Copies of this chain bind each other. A is one copy, B any other.
């Protein structure tokens, strides 16, 4: 921690701060600047919150943290990229770009089976589909719940595609884990710490979505919550952040890819469907994601978007998805990877 004193801070102010730093078990180190003093507090992590509170002391201008607050998620701790195995032949984080695709919600057996076959034929590696749906309105379709999970399992049996599906509370987490291959944590639950702790105790890989107004540092702290409970298989998913722009549903932050790659060993996946909210923009954002170094994509595909129970406007038809995958292959290859 660096404590910046005010320009006019008195000697007494400074002495009180120095005493506080020592009381917290840190060693203070003063730099006398031309207009103000700056104090480094040397020591470990134990008293960080308390050090931050020095900001309320007389004569203190601000407190600047120096260390990153995450450890297990950090590249400083583990330099090599994490490879996360989903099934025998699906590994995320390596030289193969992994595409997860399927409808927003599981609506019926016919719909999910059709979707699964379509995305498999187009080359997708994982089937997505929501059985528990966190919806903004209590009056919107909330998902088929366990019935939906069973239909997903049936689709997996038929196509061999592993399944990613959302878990929305600690109580149903075990059930969702029983049926699925990857547990998705949605953007609205990205700081639901009770849920993160519960999932950290399970052994399933996790697709953790970034919250709508989550900084990259907070995103890594949420991953850290899961990892600190024992589950190291966290896949980070950027899905658009909330900004002033309304031409897209969210603003897809693709620079998060190189930023995350610089800070963490965890794989990064992009969701251009929620990121843009409009199926017209999905394909170009898929290409851009892979060119920027994303390890994978998660894309909404629906056999009949006009009649979807949710998110129809941002879902690709199977034919469009197929065309996208064909072109995506070229970008993966330009990056020295495969699809």
Contacts and interface: CB of A to CB of B under 8 A. Distances in A.
A7 interface: yes
Among A217, A253, A280, A291: residue with most chain B CB under 10 A: A291
A141 to B, nearest CB: 7
B292 A56 contact: no
Interface in A241-271: 241-248, 251-259, 262
B44 A313 contact: no
A8 B79 CA distance: 11
A57 B292 contact: no
Contacts of A284: 255, 257-258, 291-293
A191 interface: yes
A216 to B, nearest CB: 4
Contacts of A289: 288
Contact of A254 (B42, B49, B169, B252): B252
A64 B2 contact: yes
Contacts of A43: 34
A159 interface: no
Given A38-B2, A246-B246, A56 B241 contact: no
Contacts of A45: 139
Contacts of A197: 138
A35 B71 CA distance: 12
A306 B20 contact: yes
A218 interface: yes
Nearest to A79: B8
Contact of A192 (B137, B189, B293, B309): B189
Given A2-B64, A255-B276, A335-B287, A56 B248 contact: no
A117 interface: no
A82 interface: no
Contact of A259 (B36, B225, B281): B281
Among A7, A213, A315: residue with most chain B CB under 10 A: A213
B194 A306 contact: no
A248 B62 CA distance: 12
A334 interface: yes
A29 interface: yes
A60 to B, nearest CB: 9
Nearest to A133: B193
Contacts of A259: 247-248, 281
A188 interface: yes
Contacts of A255: 248, 251-252, 275-276, 281, 284-285
Given A45-B139, A138-B229, A255-B281, 7 more contacts: A31-B42, A138-B228, A169-B170, A169-B194, A215-B245, A215-B247, A257-B288
9 contacts: A33-B66, A55-B312, A138-B225, A169-B170, A216-B247, A259-B281, A285-B292, A291-B331, A330-B334
Give me the 4 closest cross-chain CB pairs, A-B, nearest first.
A53-B312, A213-B213, A169-B194, A291-B291
